[in-house]
Every structure is written in structure tokens, then in C-alpha cells.
């Protein structure tokens, strides 16, 4: 149960509970081929079973069924104890033995789509509330806190990185990866809670349409050559909730490192090109922009 002195932690058991199931089957299959026991919940478990992947239900792990329309699934000591236990602490390992708690070495969770839900026009307060994830952030925060022993995965974009790491280290994760993913996990829960707080706060008391609470936890995409002027430092950050096309998620294919002005021009060109093609099936928009002003389209 103790962590090897070189910091590699073998992944023997993983908990998978995701809202966005993109890439889940491939990720789970890669884990299974490395001998990892998969524990899963609800729709995630069904998706894996339908794909022919052996999975253990969280009810089997906890001895309790999912209840209250799925509001209570993983909120149980046999789940959180397996995540939060300090494997080198004799008191923790003794408690695990006494209560039949099995260690969980990898937690893969992404959250109910609260931001996308409240972005839809006319969404009801009841629907927004039902898309506030409780168990997911608890799992993420627990695994991120205990990243000395647990690897936390919060985004399908991380799957390939984790699989590559496991294959490179005979089914184990390194401290560097676990720490990096823990930081990304806390950024995600911070962003998620900020979106909920902003939505529930509503318009400011003075009637201003601007939100009374604005909390952002956006990952840095790249550092820029300079800001609006050569003496200024600048970087690009991405909204983790945005899934559409954007300059922040685009990959430069040629040329020198971008400056803020280059990025601003590119963003304006993309917006105009998308506007030209919107609502016109088969159309492809193109735009030429200088100093954020269209020169041709």
C-alpha cells in the first residue's frame, strides 16, 4: 500500500464517472489492457458495458444503490476513503482494512454541463439547478488533494497524455504528471463554481446587466511574442467551457511567434468568416483583416 520511493504509483483501480463521454471507451479500453480494474457509475458504466469492456459498478464497491434520481452515487466513505487515504500512513491503511475500503489510484471525472446549460436561451432555474454537479467536484477535489497517490483526469483532452505516461512507466504515473493534473483539476472546479455563483447571483442589485460575480479559471494556451506594444508581456487563455472553433484553440502552422495584435487580427478574421458562412450550407467564409478591420471577405 505504500508509495514506491521513486514516486511512481501503479494504477490498479480507476473510477470513471463522466458527463462528456467522448473518448471514454478508448481511454477505458487502454486502461483495461494494462490490467486496471474499472469502477464506474450510471451512464458511464452502461457505455463501457455496451462497448464490451468489463466494469465494476460503484454500487458493488459501496454496497449502496444510486438513489434520489442519481443525486447520490459516489458520496460514500468506500469511494472517498479509497481516494483520500494517505497510503504511507499506518492509521489510514488500518482504517481501510477495518472498513473494507479499497484504494483508488486514478479518478476520471468530468462535470455536468452547467455552463452550456445556462447559456441556452430560456433555460429554467430548475434545469440549471439539476445541472449543478455535487459528486463530481467532490471526487475531483479529493483526488487532486491526494495527488501524491492519485491521478485525477478531468478532460478528454488529457486521456492521451495519461495513457502515454502509463505505457512509458509500466502502468504507473509520475509525481510530475499527477501534480500537473491536480492543478488543472482545481482550476476546473474553481471555474465551475464561479459559473454557478455568477448564475445564481444574477444581475447586479443596481440593475446593471453585467454579472455581479465574475470568476475565471482559464488555462494558458501560449505566451505571445509581445502585447499590444513591444514592451508589454502577453499570453492567451482559453475558456474551458467553450467547445466551438476559436483562435485560442487553433494551432499556428507557419511563421514566427504571434503577438497580441496578430492574435486580435486572426480572431476578427475568424469571426467574420464564420458570420459569412452561418446559415448558408455548403458555404466557406474567408476574410482578410488588418488592425482588426476587414480589408476583404
The pLDDT tens digits for 139-179 are 999 999 999 999 999 999 999 999 999 999 999 999 999 99
Catalytic residues: 145, 291
Q: Which three cell numbers stand for residue 175?
A: 509525481
Burial 170-186 (b: 16+ CB within 10 A, else e): ebbbbeebbeebbebbb
Q: Is the pLDDT of residue 5 over 50?
A: no
Q: Does domain 220-296 have CATH number 3.30.2130.10?
A: no
Residues of the chain with CATH 3.40.50.1380: 9-201
Q: Is the pLDDT of residue 242 over 80?
A: no
- Give the H/E segment covering residue 185: helix 175-201
Instruction: Encode pLDDT of 189-222 as tens digits.
Output: 988 888 888 777 765 555 666 766 677 777 788 8
Q: Is the pLDDT of residue 6 over 50?
A: no
Instruction: Encode pLDDT of 67-126 as tens digits.
Output: 666 666 677 778 888 898 988 888 998 988 888 888 999 999 998 888 877 777 888 888
> Which one, of 242, 190, 234, lies nearest residue 213 by Cα?
190
Alpha-carbon separation of residue 1 from 11, 88, 103 (angstroms): 12, 7, 8
Q: Give the separation between CA 152 and CA 145, rounded to whole angstroms.
A: 10
Q: Give the separation between CA 155 and CA 276, rounded to whole angstroms.
A: 32
The mean pLDDT value of the chain amounts to: 85
Q: Give the separation between CA 231 and CA 243, rounded to whole angstroms.
A: 33
Kindly state the percentage of the chain with pLDDT values over 90.
Answer: 35
The pLDDT value recorded for residue 204 is: 54
- pLDDT band, very low/low/confident/very high, at 51 (cuts 50, 70, 90): very high
Supply the pTM of this predicted model.
0.73
The pLDDT value recorded for residue 3 is: 43
Q: Give the separation between CA 294 and CA 289, rounded to whole angstroms.
A: 4
Residues of the chain with CATH 3.40.140.20: 220-296
> Which one, of 177, 187, 200, lies nearest residue 131 by Cα?
200
- CATH number of this structure's domain 9-201: 3.40.50.1380
> Which one, of 32, 34, 36, 70, lies nearest residue 51 by Cα?
32
Using a 10 angstrom Cβ sphere, with 0-12 exposed, 13-18 middle and 19 or more buried, the burial of residue 246 is middle
Q: Which three cell numbers stand for residue 92?
A: 489510514
Q: Which three cell numbers stand for residue 17?
A: 464517472
Q: Which three cell numbers stand for residue 44?
A: 458511464
- Rg, Å, the chain Cα set: 22
Amino acid at each position: 500500500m505504500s508509495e514506491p520511493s521513486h514516486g511512481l504509483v501503479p494504477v490498479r483501480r480507476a473510477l470513471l464517472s463522466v458527463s462528456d463521454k467522448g473518448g471514454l471507451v478508448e481511454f477505458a479500453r487502454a486502461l483495461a489492457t494494462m490490467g486496471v480494474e474499472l469502477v464506474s457509475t450510471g451512464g458511464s458504466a452502461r457505455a463501457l458495458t455496451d462497448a464490451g469492456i468489463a466494469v465494476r459498478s460503484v454500487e458493488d464497491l459501496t454496497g449502496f444503490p444510486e438513489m434520489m434520481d442519481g443525486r447520490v452515487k459516489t458520496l460514500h466513505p468506500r469511494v472517498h476513503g479509497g481516494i483520500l487515504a494517505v497510503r504511507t500512513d499506518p492509521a489510514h491503511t488500518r482504517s481501510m482494512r477495518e472498513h473494507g475500503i479499497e484504494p483508488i489510484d486514478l479518478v476520471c471525472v468530468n462535470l455536468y454541463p452547467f455552463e452550456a446549460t445556462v447559456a441556452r436561451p430560456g433555460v429554467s432555474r430548475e434545469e440549471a439547478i439539476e445541472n449543478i454537479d455535487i459528486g463530481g467536484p467532490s471526487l475531483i477535489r479529493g483526488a487532486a488533494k491526494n495527488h501524491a497517490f492519485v491521478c485525477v483526469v478531468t478532460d478528454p483532452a488529457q486521456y492521451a497524455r495519461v495513457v502515454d505516461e502509463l505505457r512509458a512507466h509500466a502502468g504507473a504515473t509520475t509525481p510530475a504528471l499527477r501534480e500537473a493534473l491536480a492543478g488543472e483539476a482545481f482550476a476546473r472546479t474553481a471555474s465551475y463554481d464561479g459559473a454557478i455563483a455568477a448564475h445564481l447571483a444574477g444581475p447586479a442589485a443596481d440593475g446593471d446587466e453585467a454579472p455581479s460575480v465574475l470568476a475565471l479559471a482559464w488555462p494558458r494556451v501560449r505566451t505571445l511574442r509581445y502585447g499590444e506594444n513591444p514592451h508589454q508581456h502577453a499570453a492567451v487563455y482559453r475558456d474551458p467551457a467553450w467547445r466551438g472553433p476559436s483562435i485560442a484553440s487553433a494551432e499556428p502552422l507557419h511563421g514566427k511567434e504571434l503577438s497580441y495584435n496578430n492574435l486580435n487580427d486572426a480572431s476578427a478574421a475568424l469571426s467574420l468568416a464564420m458570420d459569412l458562412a452561418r446559415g448558408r450550407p455548403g458555404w466557406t467564409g474567408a476574410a482578410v483583416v488588418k488592425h482588426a478591420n476587414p480589408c476583404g471577405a
